[in-house]
Structure 1
C-alpha cells in the first residue's frame, strides 16, 4: 500500500506543478489526472479484493479520463498529450481485455491498468517544463491549435 501513497504524492506534486506553472493543456491534464487518481482511490476503498473481477468503477473513471485526454490532444498545440492519451489508452484497454476474457490473471490485469500511470505523470512534468521554457524564451506559448499568437 506504500507504493499507492507514493504514487499519490508524486501525482499531487506533478499536478500542482502543472496547475501553477503550465499552460491551459498542462493545467487541464494535471487537474484531470488528479481527479481520476482521487476517484479511483475512493472507488477502490469499497472493493474487498482488488482486480479479482472487472473493476467497473475504475473502468468508468478511466474511460472518462480517456475522453478528456482525447479532447485535449485534439485541441492542444502540444505533442506530449498524444503520448499521454496513447499510454492511458493502453491502461484502459486492460479493462477491455478483462471484460473479454475473465481468465486474465489478476496480477496482469492490475499491472496493465496501472503501470502506465508513472510515465503519464512524467510526461505531464516534461510538458510543463517545456511550456515554462518557451514562455521564458519567447514571452508566450500557444495553448490551443489555431489560436492567434497576439492574443494572450
Structure 2
C-alpha cells in the first residue's frame, strides 16, 4: 500500500510539473503516463503467474509513443524515457520466454521501471523550463 501511495505521489507530482512547466511533448507524455497507470490498474490480474497480457499491450503502446518521440525530439529526456520503457517492456518478454519466473520478481520488476520513466520526464521538464527561463 505504501509503494502504491509513493508511486501515485510521484506520478501526480511529475505529471503536474509537466502540465505546468512543460511544452507539448511533456504534456502529451504526462497524459499518456496517467492513462497507462489507470489502464494498468484496471487490467492487472494481481497474480503475476504468467504474462500480464493487458499490461504488456499498454506498455507496448507507451513504448511506441516514447520511441517516436525520442526519434523526433530535440531533447534528451525522451531517449532516457524510451530506454527505461524498453527495459520495462522486456520484463514481459522474459515472462513469455520463461514462465517459471517467480511472480514477486515479475511484479517488482514490472513496477520498478515505471519510476525511471517518471524521473526522465520530471528532470527533462525541469531542465527544459530552466533553459527557457534564460
Q: TM-score range by the shorter chain?
A: over 0.9
Cα offset, 1:50, TM superposition? 2.5
Q: Note the residue ranges of structure 2 that are not aligned, 5 or more in a row.
A: none
TM-score for the superposition, normalised by structure 1: 0.83
Q: Give the superposed CA RMSD.
A: 1.2
Hey, which bits of structure 1, 4+ residues long, moved more than 3 A?
Answer: none
Q: Is the 1:69–1:84 contact (alpha carbons within 8 Å) kept by the matching residues of 2?
A: yes
Higher helix share: 2
Name 2:121's counterpart in structure 1: 124
Long gaps (5+) in structure 1: 138-152
How far is 1:125 from its partner? 1.0
**What whole-Å deviation, never above 9, does each CA across 1:28-72 have from its counterpart, x for those lacking one?**
21111111111101112xx2x431221000000000000010111
Q: Distance in 2 between matches of 1:50 and 1:17?
A: 33
CA distance in 2, matches of 1:60, 1:8: 21
Aligned length: 134
Residue among 62, 74, 85 paired with 2:59? 62
What CA distance in whole angstroms lies between the structure 2 residues aligned with 1:2 and 1:130? 29
For the residues of structure 1 that align with 2:5 and 2:48, how far apart are their CA atoms? 18
Matched, 1:88 2:85: yes
Q: Tell me if 1:19 matches 2:19.
A: yes
Counterpart of 2:5 in structure 1 is 5
| Matching residue of 2:105 | 108
